[in-house]
């Protein structure tokens, strides 16, 4: 495949990159007692991007590899239609040829569809049988192996193998007053064995949903809040991380001013990193989809804004170094600037130290999802507890954290010494989703607004 | 195709879905044209019943038909025992969703629309960023099954969206508007004028920032653009998937008065020129207008073949699918019937209140329960019947099954936003939290 790409790139005018991809995916999903999905899927397609000298980006995407020569021509035609005022320049890359493999500890391809089905069926039954109040469940298993072949006219050729495994368990509990749900996710990049023996986890998921039925809604107001590592990781990714993505900044002088490197963003104890070069997490991509090697980028160091994430185009435009953060969901998408593994480094406080002087606060756990409109964010905790007189008290629900990002970062009071990698998740941006890694210790923040009654 | 003929005799029933889409799009960013893209995607998905068990697979691999059949049969072997009756031909109906002139639009022509829109917004260049996306799409699908059904559909979609963003110290402002249709407007210039005018008008309103005194319940008017925050929990609640499993809080409430009698909501996939419209759903059933809420009474749920079978009901023409998914129930266009007052009168009658254009985090959290809690993305303060300025840092929360039992007013004017056609709607009992 790499040879075929080399051949197509030979003699091309200007810049061009070609990315071909083929993937096999297994998806199994139970909803309630029913098997909603249990199948293997095949996806194959290609992407060509051209940049003629002094012109704009021309892109084609397709499924049929036989159409490659026409698609190369069409991408060039698309590029030719654009006459930008300023020439688009790309950060220079050294030629390299590299093969990235994804060795497997317990190869999921050895197991039949039926064996995988029986594995999650057991967990699903555990959830369903735990109480008559469990009205619905979901048990989802997915694995995939994706081969991709990348080449560009700068002499970069990357062949990649990537494996992903994921399992999600969800329970919905319902009584005559309300409906509540809870979930857990496990992910791996190499080990089917990690999904075995998870009956206790299934039990916990169901029990958490049942407890939420009995929990009261939180009273809205301003609280000192401790975020558990899960919610803290998701918060840092969503509310802060996206602002470090240079595609939002590079043509926007006012936004650059706001995100000026060297500016104080939080207390000294706050360190936030993005690193796609570490092995084994969902955001571990080693090379990005422009063929740029990933590295460790400090976004916030000792509370000071100190780095941001780049594509070749944004790095060149802003006079900074590439970071290996230009990623595409798959062959059907142009790569965009986005995070890889984003995490908050360990602090020094123990969980007990964080708790002890809070008279009335909220311990917010798990993320149901979050949305930001730049400075404004909104996050739903999966579940939460009141903190009363320095102790964890009753469970509460419907906890939605809301606020202004900049104020909230400055309001961070303590960072825990209990860093954990999260299962990671799937991040959505510009209509594309990408697997990302996240990690954080507990974080304590004062004056957080919680919506509610 | 004749793929169905290649299936082994052990297969009792089968259904093949083919989809092909060809898109052309142009993006403007940073006040200039940035990229053009053409996309051709195609693939097959196959659903079959073998030994009484249901299986499914999908593929975009060219020439991968044998693999697709094999994957489907494997899927059948672990599949659920269920007897689905794939429909025979359901009769004819014509919905106008194809326009040759969209298909024939050249790249240059599409770019010229973008240039025109950009030039109309030029006065914002000093302070704002602009992103414009324009595109045309040709969608083709064919469905055939062993009951003898074979239907094909061709759809064209033209779309423009524009987004303005302004960054000031401590204040981000986002304004957007969009237009899409399956028919190329004859008066494209006036459509583009309207889009630009709408954005410029909002920009003026948004310039002045107002604060809000917390702790008070005041009237809140939802514009048609903000209505999805209220409709989404209901659309999840009427989805067949959440009905047969009884996880919806309204699964046993058919025929009951669950909302204010002023409220009527229709799911209608038969409206000409709308991208969510078509003659048949993705299983071959005819799309029909369906009363969801009639004068506040819950009348119908949305079912595809599978969820209907599970619930012991009939399919409602609501099946939707793509290459890698089995069909699932999904809403078409949602029409909320108008009220009696004019929007001007509604606004004029409020001495202190909030007008909501956009909420953040819509669809997030436990919406199946009907609960919502959303910070405002774009909202205005109403003072003495007039828009006084933009509000920030306010959260609206409630539960649709409580707060829509009493709707204060609905406007006689309706507007399209995406696939929703709705009036302005006023609620007086929402929880409002402010920082």
Interface test with A, best of B137, B375, B432 (most A CBs within 10 A): B375
**pLDDT of amino acid B169:** 67
Contact A60 B39 (CB under 8 A): yes
Q: Could you tell me how many residues make up chain B? A: 435
Per CATH, is B3-206 categorized as 3.30.2290.10? yes
Alpha carbon distances (Å) from B269 to B93, B139, B154, B227, B290:
12, 16, 15, 19, 9
- The count of CB pairs under 8 A between chains A and B is 247
What are the pLDDT digits (tens) for A37-84?
999 999 999 999 999 999 999 999 999 999 999 999 999 999 998 887
Question: Are A149 and A267 found together in one domain?
Answer: no
Nearest-neighbour CA in chain B from A168: distance (Å): 17
**pLDDT of amino acid A179:** 85
Contact A374 B174 (CB under 8 A): yes
Question: Are A135 and A274 found together in one domain?
Answer: no
Question: Are A239 and A96 found together in one domain?
Answer: no
User: Which chain B residues have a beta carbon less than 8 Å from that of A74?
Assistant: 38
Residue A219 contacts B, CB cutoff 8 Å: no
Contact B241 A380 (CB under 8 A): no
**What residue ranges of chain A have pLDDT lower than 50?**
none
Other beta carbons within 10 angstroms of residue A401's beta carbon come to 27
User: Which chain A residues have a beta carbon less than 8 Å from that of B62?
Assistant: 44, 63-66
Nearest-neighbour CA in chain A from B28: distance (Å): 10
Nearest-neighbour CA in chain A from B144: distance (Å): 20
User: What DSSP state is assigned to residue B225?
Assistant: T
d(CA A312, CA B74): 44
Query: Could you tell me which chain A residue has the CA closest to the CA of B433?
Result: A451
- Chain A from 75 to 104: CB within 8 A of any B CB: 78-79, 81-85
Contact A44 B364 (CB under 8 A): no
Please name the residue that has the structure tokens 């207390």: A267
Q: Which of B30, B60, B129 sits opposite A63 (nearest CB)?
A: B60
User: Which chain B residues have a beta carbon less than 8 Å from that of A398?
Assistant: 365-366, 371, 373
Nearest-neighbour CA in chain A from B216: distance (Å): 12
Residue B337, pLDDT above cutoff 60: yes
Tokens of A67: 């159409």
Nearest-neighbour CA in chain B from A280: distance (Å): 27
Question: Are A173 and A268 found together in one domain?
Answer: no
d(CA A66, CA B42): 13
- Chain A from 172 to 201: CB within 8 A of any B CB: 172, 174, 178-181
- Chain B from 217 to 236: CB within 8 A of any A CB: none
Q: What is the location of CATH 3.30.2290.10 in chain B?
A: 3-206
Strands B333-336 and B420-427: what pairing? parallel
Contact B36 A82 (CB under 8 A): yes
Contact A449 B245 (CB under 8 A): no
Sequence-separated (6 or more) residues with CB below 8 Å from residue A385: A362, A363, A365, A392, A393, A394, A395, A396
User: Which chain A residues have a beta carbon less than 8 Å from that of B43?
Assistant: 63
| Number of domains chain A contains | 2
Contact A81 B366 (CB under 8 A): no
Question: Are A210 and A223 found together in one domain?
Answer: no
Are the C-beta atoms of B176 and B164 separated by less than 8 Å? Answer: yes
The residue range of the domain holding A357 is 217-451
Sequence-separated (6 or more) residues with CB below 8 Å from residue B247: A32, A135, A136, A172, A174, A179, B368
Query: Could you tell me which chain B residue has the CA closest to the CA of A209?
Result: B366
Strands B53-59 and A57-62: what pairing? unpaired
Across chain A, mean pLDDT equals: 93
d(CA B79, CA B129): 52
User: Which chain B residues have a beta carbon less than 8 Å from that of A335?
Assistant: none
Question: Are A174 and A234 found together in one domain?
Answer: no
Domain finish residue from A172, A189, A214: A214
Strands B328-329 and B333-336: what pairing? unpaired
What are the pLDDT digits (tens) for B357-411?
999 878 877 788 898 888 888 999 999 999 998 998 888 989 999 999 999 999 9
Calculate helix-pair angle for A2-9, A68-80, nearest 10 degrees: 40
Question: Are A285 and A357 found together in one domain?
Answer: yes
- Chain A from 367 to 386: CB within 8 A of any B CB: 368-378, 380
Tokens of B342: 């004019």
Nearest-neighbour CA in chain B from A69: distance (Å): 14
What are the pLDDT digits (tens) for B164-203?
988 776 677 888 899 999 999 989 999 999 999 999 998 9
d(CA A40, CA A109): 11
- Chain B from 179 to 218: CB within 8 A of any A CB: none
Q: Structure pTM? A: 0.85
- Chain A from 394 to 423: CB within 8 A of any B CB: 398, 400, 402-404, 406
Nearest-neighbour CA in chain A from B211: distance (Å): 15
| Percentage helix, strand, coil for chain B under 3-state DSSP, each rounded to 5 | 20, 40, 40
What DSSP string describes B157-214? EEEEEEEEEEEETTEEEEEEEEEEESS--TTHHHHHHHHHHHHHHHHHHHTSEE---T
Are the C-beta atoms of B371 and B401 separated by less than 8 Å? Answer: no
**pLDDT of amino acid A375:** 76
Nearest-neighbour CA in chain A from B310: distance (Å): 10
**pLDDT of amino acid B394:** 87
Question: Are A237 and A318 found together in one domain?
Answer: yes
Question: Are A226 and A295 found together in one domain?
Answer: yes
Q: Could you tell me how many residues make up chain A? A: 453
Q: Which of B58, B74, B129 sits opposite A113 (nearest CB)?
A: B74
- Chain B from 288 to 347: CB within 8 A of any A CB: 310, 324-326
Nearest-neighbour CA in chain A from B247: distance (Å): 6
Are the C-beta atoms of B79 and A38 separated by less than 8 Å? Answer: yes
* Residue A258 main-chain phi, psi, to 5 deg: -70, -35
d(CA B287, CA B155): 15
**pLDDT of amino acid A36:** 87
Question: Are A141 and A240 found together in one domain?
Answer: no
Interface test with A, best of B395, B399, B430 (most A CBs within 10 A): B395
User: What DSSP state is assigned to residue B405?
Assistant: S
**pLDDT of amino acid A371:** 72
Question: Could you tell me the CATH number of the domain that includes residue A196?
Answer: 3.30.2290.10
Query: Could you tell me which chain A residue has the CA closest to the CA of B64?
Result: A42
Residue B246 contacts A, CB cutoff 8 Å: yes
Contact B34 A135 (CB under 8 A): no
* Residue A67 main-chain phi, psi, to 5 deg: -85, 5
What are the pLDDT digits (tens) for B195-242?
999 999 989 888 888 877 766 789 999 999 999 999 999 999 999 999
Q: Which residues of B82-109 are buried (b: 16+ CB within 10 A; e: fewer)?
A: eebebbeebeeeebebbbeebbebebee
Question: In terms of DSSP H, where are the helices of B104-174?
Answer: 107-120
Question: Are A354 and A433 found together in one domain?
Answer: yes
Across chain B, mean pLDDT equals: 92
- The number of C-alpha atoms within 13 Å of A1 and in the hemisphere containing its C-beta is 19
Contact A371 B393 (CB under 8 A): no
d(CA B269, CA B416): 14
Nearest-neighbour CA in chain A from B66: distance (Å): 12
Are the C-beta atoms of B320 and B303 separated by less than 8 Å? Answer: no
Q: Which residues of B390-414 are buried (b: 16+ CB within 10 A; e: fewer)?
A: bbbbbbbbbbbbebbbebbbbbebb
Q: Which of A31, A220, A258 sits opposite B245 (nearest CB)?
A: A31
Burial classification of residue B329, based on how many CB atoms lie within 10 Å of its CB (0-12 exposed, 13-18 middle, 19 or more buried): buried
Residue A429 contacts B, CB cutoff 8 Å: no
Contact A378 B78 (CB under 8 A): no
Q: Which residues of A209-233 are buried (b: 16+ CB within 10 A; e: fewer)?
A: bbebbebebbebeebbbbbbbbbbb
Residue A10 contacts B, CB cutoff 8 Å: no
Q: Which residues make beta-bridge pairs with A402?
A: A378, A449
Burial classification of residue A186, based on how many CB atoms lie within 10 Å of its CB (0-12 exposed, 13-18 middle, 19 or more buried): middle
What are the pLDDT digits (tens) for B32-58?
888 999 999 999 999 999 999 999 999
**pLDDT of amino acid A214:** 94
Question: Are A210 and A247 found together in one domain?
Answer: no
Q: Which of B39, B365, B375 sits opposite A368 (nearest CB)?
A: B365
- Chain B from 341 to 400: CB within 8 A of any A CB: 360-362, 364-366, 368-369, 371, 373-375, 377, 392-393, 395, 397
Query: Could you tell me which chain A residue has the CA closest to the CA of B214?
Result: A221
Tokens of B193: 């004028």
Tokens of B156: 């064209």
Write down the ipTM of this complex: 0.81
Are the C-beta atoms of A341 and A285 separated by less than 8 Å? Answer: no
d(CA B37, CA B118): 19
Contact B369 A178 (CB under 8 A): yes
């Amino acid at each position: 495949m790499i040879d075929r790409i080399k051949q197509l790139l030979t003699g091309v005018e200007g810049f061009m990159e070609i990315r071909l991809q083929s993937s096999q995916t297994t998806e199994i999903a139970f909803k309630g007692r029913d098997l909603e999905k249990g199948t293997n899927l095949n996806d194959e397609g290609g992407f060509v991007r051209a940049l003629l000298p002094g012109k704009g980006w021309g892109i084609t995407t397709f499924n049929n590899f036989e159409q490659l020569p026409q698609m190369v021509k069409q991408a060039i035609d698309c590029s030719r239609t654009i006459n930008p005022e300023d020439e688009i320049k790309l950060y220079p890359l050294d030629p390299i040829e590299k093969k990235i493999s994804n060795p497997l500890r317990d190869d999921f391809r050895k197991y039949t569809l039926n064996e995988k089905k029986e594995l999650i069926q057991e967990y699903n039954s555990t959830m369903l049988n735990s109480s008559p109040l469990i009205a619905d469940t979901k048990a989802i298993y997915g694995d995939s192996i994706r081969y991709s072949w990348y080449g560009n006219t700068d002499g970069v050729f990357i062949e990649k193998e990537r494996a992903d495994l994921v399992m999600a368990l969800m329970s919905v509990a319902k009584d005559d007053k309300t409906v509540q749900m809870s979930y857990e996710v496990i992910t791996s990049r190499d080990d089917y064995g990690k999904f075995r023996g998870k009956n206790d986890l299934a039990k916990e998921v169901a029990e958490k949903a049942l407890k939420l039925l009995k929990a009261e809604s939180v009273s809205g107001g301003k609280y000192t809040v401790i975020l558990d590592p899960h919610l803290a990781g998701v918060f840092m990714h969503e509310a802060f991380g996206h602002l470090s993505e240079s595609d939002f900044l590079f043509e926007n002088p006012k936004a650059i001013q706001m995100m000026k490197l060297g500016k104080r963003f939080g207390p000294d104890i706050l360190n936030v990193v993005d690193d796609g070069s570490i092995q084994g997490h969902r955001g571990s991509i080693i090379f990005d989809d422009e063929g740029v090697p990933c590295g460790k980028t400090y976004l916030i160091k000792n509370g000071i804004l100190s780095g941001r994430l780049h594509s070749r185009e944004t790095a060149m435009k802003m006079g900074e170094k590439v970071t290996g953060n230009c990623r595409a969901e798959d062959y059907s998408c142009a790569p965009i600037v986005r995070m890889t593994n984003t995490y908050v480094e360990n602090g020094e406080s123990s969980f007990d130290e964080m708790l002890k002087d809070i008279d009335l606060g909220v311990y917010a756990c798990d993320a149901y999802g979050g949305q930001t409109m730049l400075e404004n964010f909104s996050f739903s905790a999966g579940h939460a507890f009141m903190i009363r007189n320095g102790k964890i008290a009753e469970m509460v629900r419907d906890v939605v954290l809301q606020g202004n990002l900049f104020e909230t970062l400055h309001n961070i009071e303590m960072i825990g010494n209990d860093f954990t990698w999260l299962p990671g998740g799937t991040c959505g941006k510009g209509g594309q989703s990408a697997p990302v890694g996240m990690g954080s210790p507990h974080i304590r923040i004062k004056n957080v607004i919680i919506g509610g009654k | 195709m004749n793929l169905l003929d290649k299936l082994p005799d052990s297969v009792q029933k089968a259904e093949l879905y083919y989809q092909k889409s060809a898109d052309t799009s142009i993006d403007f960013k940073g006040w200039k044209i940035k990229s053009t893209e053409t996309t051709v995607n195609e693939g097959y998905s196959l659903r079959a019943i073998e030994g009484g068990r249901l299986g499914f697979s999908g593929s975009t691999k060219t020439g991968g038909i044998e693999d697709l059949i094999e994957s489907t049969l494997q899927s059948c072997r672990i599949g659920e025992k269920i007897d689905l009756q794939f429909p025979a031909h359901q009769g004819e109906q014509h919905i106008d969703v194809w326009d040759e002139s969209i298909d024939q639009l050249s790249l240059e022509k599409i770019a010229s629309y973008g240039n025109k829109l950009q030039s109309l917004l030029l006065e914002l260049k000093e302070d704002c960023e602009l992103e414009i996306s324009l595109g045309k799409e040709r969608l083709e699908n064919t469905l055939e099954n062993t009951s003898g059904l074979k239907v094909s559909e061709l759809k064209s979609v033209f779309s423009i969206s524009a987004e303005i963003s302004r960054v000031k110290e401590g204040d981000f402002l986002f304004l957007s508007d969009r237009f899409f249709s399956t028919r190329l407007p004859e008066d494209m210039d006036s459509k583009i004028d309207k889009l630009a005018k709408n954005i410029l008008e909002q920009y003026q309103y948004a310039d002045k920032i107002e604060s809000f005194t917390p702790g008070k319940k005041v009237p809140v008017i939802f514009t048609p653009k903000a209505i999805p925050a209220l409709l989404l929990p209901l659309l999840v609640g009427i989805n067949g998937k959440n009905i047969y499993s009884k996880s919806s809080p309204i699964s046993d409430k058919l025929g009951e008065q669950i909302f204010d009698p002023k409220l009527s909501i229709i799911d209608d996939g038969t409206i000409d020129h709308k991208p969510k419209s078509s003659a048949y759903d993705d299983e071959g059933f005819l799309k029909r207008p369906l009363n969801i809420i009639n004068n506040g009474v819950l009348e119908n749920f949305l079912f595809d073949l599978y969820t209907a079978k599970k619930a012991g009901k009939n399919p409602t023409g609501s099946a939707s699918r793509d290459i890698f998914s089995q069909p699932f129930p999904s809403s078409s266009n949602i029409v909320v019937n108008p009220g009696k007052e004019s929007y001007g009168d509604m606004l004029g009658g409020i001495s202190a209140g909030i007008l909501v254009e956009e909420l953040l985090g819509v669809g997030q959290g436990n919406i199946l329960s009907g609960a919502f809690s959303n910070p405002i993305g774009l909202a205005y303060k109403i003072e003495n019947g007039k828009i006084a300025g933009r509000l920030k840092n306010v959260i609206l929360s409630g539960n649709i099954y409580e707060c829509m039992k009493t709707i204060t007013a609905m406007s006689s004017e309706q507007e399209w936003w995406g696939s929703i056609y709705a009036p302005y709607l006023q609620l007086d009992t929402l929880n409002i939290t402010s920082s």
